[in-house]
Amino acid sequence: MALAATRTRHPLEPLSVDELAEAVAVLRSGSPAGPWDGRRFRFVDVALREPSKAELLAFDASGGEGELPREARAVLIDRGERTSVEAVVSLNEGRVTAWETVAAGQAPFTLEEILACEEVVRRHPDFRTAMKKRGIADMDLVWVDPWPFGVYEDEADLAHRRLTRGLVWVRSGPDDDNGYAHPVDNVVVVFDLHQMEVVRVEDHGVVPVPAANGNYGPDDTGPARAGLRPIAITQPEGPSFEVDGTLVRWQNWRLRVGFTPREGLVLHTVGWEEGGRVRPVLHRAAMSEMVVPYGDPSPTHGRKNTYDGGELNFGALVNSLTLGCDCLGEIRYFDAALVDQDGTPFKVENAICMHEEDYGTLWRHQNMRTGRTDVRRSRRLVVSSFSTIGNYDYGIFWYLYQDGGIQCEVKLTGILSTGAVAPGETPRHGQLLNADGLYAPIHQHFFNFRLDLDVDGSSNTVWEEHAEAEPAGPGNPLGSAFRTVRTPLRRESEAQQLVDPLRGRVWRVVNPGRLNAVGEPVGYRLVPHGNVAALAGADASITRRAAFMTKHLWVTPHDDRERHAAGDFPAQHPGAGLPDWTAGDRPIEDRDVVLWYTLGSHHAPRPEDWPVMPVAYAGFLLQPAGFFDRNPALDVPAPTPHGDGHCCP
């Protein structure tokens, strides 16, 4: 069941369709570039330009008195000047207040560019010749997936152009055939998206196109398994959360749900209500960037890597979710408002799903002497979205728990990006998927999450914590002692760290100005849930450009301008973001700090990942550590026993 909600305007509420239309109209009428030429400019995205953190904190402290300026930030492609443009529109004043040419890098791709590229490539004679050599005559069956171009020294002469690297697949028929089953390996198309023209077609030699189908619909997989009976998730009295615009109240949690075309789902002003006040935990949390480096050095796949955020606009590719399929139970949906490349606003309905889930045991104990058992069941609030980036589908899930925990989980599914080898050949850098030469290259996914923590306030310090064994001696006569070691991280250079599961490394964010019942600073700790190291070499182009993936933790002093781990415009950029910002080694002790956590998922493909991948999971936990004086979930009501058994008082 989907639920409606009331609407209350707040400065963080995303722009509506009407506001987007207003911002686009202002840009068209007031552009410093002169009379608007719709053939010259493409809109990449238009979204809320969020007020500064200082303005938001002052607004909330005043109880919402007054009104903050309502502004839109727009990213455009200027085809006439072959540049990208960043503009700001004041909706209050109805005018363009900023218009700047992007000095380095390119705006993200638009979906319309991607589709138009495919049509142009299909008509190019060199491309048709390459297809004819492989026995492919029907161009309507050919897929050209434009991949980001990257930055490579041997292609420096092309750096002034807006480029993509088109990789090729072909369907076996005009129906909904899975073209990724039939890669046209060794054909790469370099394409100029400003001029909408083919720069060159690379043909590195014919490899037979795998013929076996990889379809996975109900009609393709045989009879459905029997014995799966329905599960009914019902809440007869409705859900336990309340929604007012984008403000959500659930149990003791208070938060706002946001969305941007770049990041997708955003959580704002997350806090825990206790003793008549809301104690802040997170000011803002979102995926700041993600990159997918491939480990296959072959001509087709060697330069295949992508920033799904900064190059492809992860949020703009958000899915519309379906009740009963993507979400179960009593659901509250949030829509997303976007613009197409002509600036026409549209709405993606049900872009964000929110619901409650039973999550098993919250806490439990049986008194072995009396037989009394106390049990509380855990319930969590789920806020989630899915984006489809070509072949891959990514789910971003945030879970809020009754014990004060906040979990982030990425769900990876979709279809492998495939290649082909000659029948009988075994790929060195990938996994065969069938006997027809189809294979999937090895690769990794790195997600960087920007976590602007405000633990009971904005003046925080980060401690590195790990366990150490005590040396044997008078203080450790049995040689079995070990303890927790805590080290405050005082400067940015000290906070560039890797996970260390063997020593139980976590990072605790504390507020030295607020003490708990035992006299220690209140805190939350970031707990890794599995991670991997980046395997691309230190001198590799993608390592220089996506340096954030070389460390699992970065900490910076808060700066509203520092939003994305690889910079604002990483497409065809040699490298920016966290390495540049932290080069000054700024102090981070007892300050308003931002944690940047890099979450890695290593994907050595399996035959079981074909033709569509079961979900893989990666994530982390933000866990209260001294934030509360005791278990904050003691007041959760006891469940009602079923049947004749007695398990709860």
Question: Could you report the per-residue pLDDT of 304-347, keeping only the tens digit for each?
Answer: 999 999 999 999 999 999 998 999 999 999 999 999 999 999 99
Q: Looking at the structure, tell me whether residues 91 and 158 fall in a common domain.
A: no
Q: Is the pLDDT of residue 222 over 90?
A: no
Spatial CA neighbour of 558 closest among 612, 587, 513, 594: 594
Q: What is the pLDDT of residue 642?
A: 73
Residue 362 lies in a domain: yes
Same domain? For 354 and 270 the reply is: yes
Q: Are residues 477 and 583 in the same domain?
A: yes
Which residue, among 282, 273, 268, has the nearest Cα to 622 in the 3D structure? Answer: 282
639 in a domain, yes or no? no
What is the rounded CA–CA span in Å between residue 138 and residue 537? Answer: 41
User: How far apart are alpha carbons 492 and 582 in whole angstroms?
Assistant: 6
- How many contiguous H segments (helices) and E segments (strands) does the chain have? 6, 31
**Does residue 3 have a pLDDT over 50?**
no
Same domain, 311 and 164: no
Question: What pLDDT digit, counting tens, does each position of 174-203 carry?
Answer: 888 999 999 999 999 999 999 999 999 999
What percent helix, strand, coil does the chain show, rounded to 5?
15, 45, 45
Do residue 430 and residue 451 come from a single domain?
yes
Instruction: Give the integer Cα–Cα distance in Å for 403 and 648.
Output: 19
Q: pLDDT tens for residues 40-67?
A: 999 999 999 999 999 999 999 998 888 8
How far, CA to CA in Å, does 329 sit from each of 60, 394, 395, 409?
A: 33, 21, 18, 20
Please indicate, yes or no, whether residues 127 and 259 belong to a single structural domain of this protein.
no
Q: Between β-strands 438-441 and 430-432, what pairing exists: parallel, antiparallel or unpaired?
A: antiparallel
- 537 and 420 together in one domain: yes
Residues 614 and 465 in one domain: yes
318 and 407 part of one domain: yes
Is position 76 within any domain? yes
- Is residue 643 assigned to a domain? no
Backbone phi and psi for residue 362, each to the nearest 5 degrees, phi listed first: -90, -50
**How many Å apart are CA 506 and CA 486, to the nearest integer?**
10
Whether 269 is covered by a domain: the verdict is: yes
Q: Are the beta carbons of 354 and 241 closer than 8 angstroms?
A: yes
Name residue 484's beta-bridge partners.
Answer: 467
Same domain, 149 and 85: no
| Global pTM value | 0.96
Q: pLDDT, tens digit, for every residue of 98-118?
A: 999 999 999 999 999 999 999
- Residue 557: strand pairing partners: 593
Quote the distance between the C-alpha of residue 555 and its chain's center: 19
Residues 304 and 323 in one domain: yes
Q: What is the CATH number of the domain that holds 28?
A: 3.10.450.40
Whether 361 is covered by a domain: the verdict is yes
Tokens describing residue 395: 């789910």
Q: Is residue 577 part of a domain?
A: yes
- Determine the Cα–Cα distance for residues 603 and 623; give it in Å rounded to an integer: 28
Q: Identify the CATH number of the domain in which residue 445 sits.
A: 2.70.98.20
Calculate the CA 114 to chain-centre distance: 21
In terms of domains, do 301 and 161 share one? no
What is the count of structural domains for the chain? Answer: 3
Q: Is 228 a member of any domain?
A: no
Residues marked as catalytic: 308, 392
Token code pair at residue 574 = 């040699």
What residue numbers bound the domain in which 461 lies?
253-624
Cis peptide before 611 (omega within 30 of 0): yes
Last residue of a domain, one of 101, 134, 164: 101
